[in-house]
Amino acid sequence: MKYFLIQFLENNLTTFIESLSRFAGEGIGMGGRAVVCVLLLLVSFLVPFVSFAAELRTVTVLSYPDRPAKLPLWLARDAGLFKKYGLNVEIKTPDSGEAIAEGARKNAADIYIATANWMVSAVGDGADLVFFANTGYSVLKLLAQPSITRPEQLRGKRVGTGEPGGSQDRITRETLRRLGLDADKDVTLVPFGSRSIQRLNALVQGEIDATTSNEDNIFDLERRGEINKVRMLADNDSLKLFIGAGVDFAVSKSFLAGSRAAVKGFVQALSEAIALARRDRAAADDIYKRYLKVSDPALLEFMYRTYVQHAIPERPYPKVDNVALGIEEFKAKPGLKGKSAESLTDMSLVRDLEQGGFFTELYRSRPAHGERAE
């Protein structure tokens, strides 16, 4: 109803106000005057809204796939935070990472959101992209048979991995390297494709001795009552490894140069959504219910703890390691010749906000409901 009223006012605002003015001056009674006053007050409130809506800058986004660390994107849109910063964000969801890469090659959107390697692939084919933000990653754990208690005991063992040369394979290799193991000499890598649930099931069934898996699959393992069949040897924090299944944001350099204020507003909205989710559990739960179709209270609690309170950062700086992994995967492409992860990453948007005190103000202690700030 409000939408149609606004449309009516946009099309007939001048005539409407003139009619109300004439009506107010025709000797009407007190009741009529009160009605006129209310109508004029309504117009005065809606005129700024109409003007504001007309001035929103449309930003087109390609995003794939839906995953928990994309909560800030969805919440920023649903809570009106993009509009707060003058943006009308249109989110399009292609059906594959390759479609994201193809879209970037054809300049089909303003901003692209996916794991970094897909956008890096597009850069290798000539797309002029730069990474400017990240809102998290898939939580990683290295799991092993219960009898294996230390990483060095993996020597000579079978370690499940992804397709040779793919992102998951590189993550597995980097995990082993950080534990002091050579993936080609110290263990036998067993490819299982790209889905970690396949490798985790193989571990439980004794087909392999260790593998990496994400937090979601481990939660399923707990619910199945089989968590005692594996042992955790390492995780993101202990490895200082935050790559894989990331929610990375890239933008064309030309769009950033010509519309820096819009991209900055986009980052501000994301950051404010992160702060909102951290202080309002219900808002975060609602997003997961709507976008990921999660209804299990235990899973909602798990996702809030795992992602909102941990994996999703307060300051959404782009992650250079994610970009570096993509460059390593697609280094044969001509467009990546001479390119470094640093040259494809722009820290300045988040850094400018941090230096300007944006995050300090965003996380300033707020009074409890019903109390006054001093």
Same domain for 187 and 121, yes or no, is no
By CB atoms closer than 10 A (0-12, 13-18, 19+), residue 360 is exposed
Q: Determine the structural domain holding residue 8 and report its residue range.
A: 2-54
Residue 369 forms part of a structural domain: no
Q: Is the pLDDT of residue 325 over 80?
A: yes
Q: What is the CATH number of the domain that holds 197?
A: 3.40.190.10
For the stretch 20-32, pLDDT in tens is 444 444 444 545 5
What DSSP line would sit under 77-100, residue for residue? HHTTHHHHTTEEEEEE--SSHHHH
Judge if 215 and 275 occupy the same domain: no
Judge contact between 283 and 277, C-beta under 8 A: yes
Share of residues in the chain with pLDDT > 90 (%) = 66
Location of structure tokens 């009741």: 31
Tell me the C-alpha distance between 330 and 53, whole Å. 42
Q: Which of 2-6, 171-175, 178-182, 334-338 has the lowest average pLDDT?
A: 2-6
Tell me the per-residue pLDDT of 267-294, one tens digit each, with 9 for 90 and over: 999 999 999 999 999 999 999 999 999 9
Q: In angstroms, rounded to a whole number, what is the distance separating the alpha carbons of residues 92 and 294?
A: 21
Bigger pLDDT: 90 or 244? 90
The answer to whether residue 275 is domain-embedded is yes
Q: pTM for the whole thing?
A: 0.76
Determine which of 8-22, 109-123, 166-180 has the lowest per-residue pLDDT on average: 8-22
Residue that wins the pLDDT comparison between 139 and 22:
139
- What total number of domains does the chain contain? 3
> Which residue's structure tokens are 């209310």?
38
Of 337, 274, 275, 322, the closest CA to residue 138 belongs to 322
Which whole number is the average pLDDT over 102-107?
Answer: 96
Query: What does the alpha-carbon distance between residue 244 and residue 73 come to, in Å, rounded to a whole number?
Result: 19
User: Same domain for 105 and 34?
Assistant: no
* 213 and 308 share one domain: no
Average pLDDT taken over every residue of the chain: 85
Of residues 23 and 197, the one with the higher pLDDT is: 197
pLDDT at residue number 8:
40
Instruction: Let me know whether 215 and 276 are in one domain.
Output: no
The 3-class SS string of 25-79 reads CCCCCHHHHHHHHHHHHHHHHHHHHHHHHHCCEEEEEEECCCCHHHHHHHHHHHC
Residues 216 and 294 in one domain: no
Residues 166 and 151 in one domain: yes
Residue finishing a domain among 219, 239, 259: 239
User: What integer is the mean pLDDT of 150-171?
Assistant: 90
pLDDT grade for 366, boundaries at 50, 70 and 90: low
Q: Which carries the bigger pLDDT value, residue 22 or residue 186? A: 186
Burial of residue 293 (number of CB atoms within 10 Å: 0-12, 13-18, 19+): exposed
Closest C-alpha among 41, 89, 37 to residue 259: 89
Sign of CA dihedral 324, 155, 162, 61: negative
- pLDDT, tens only, 216-260: 888 888 888 999 999 999 987 888 776 666 899 999 999 999 999
- Tens digit of each residue's pLDDT (9 = 90 or more) over 125-138: 999 999 999 999 87
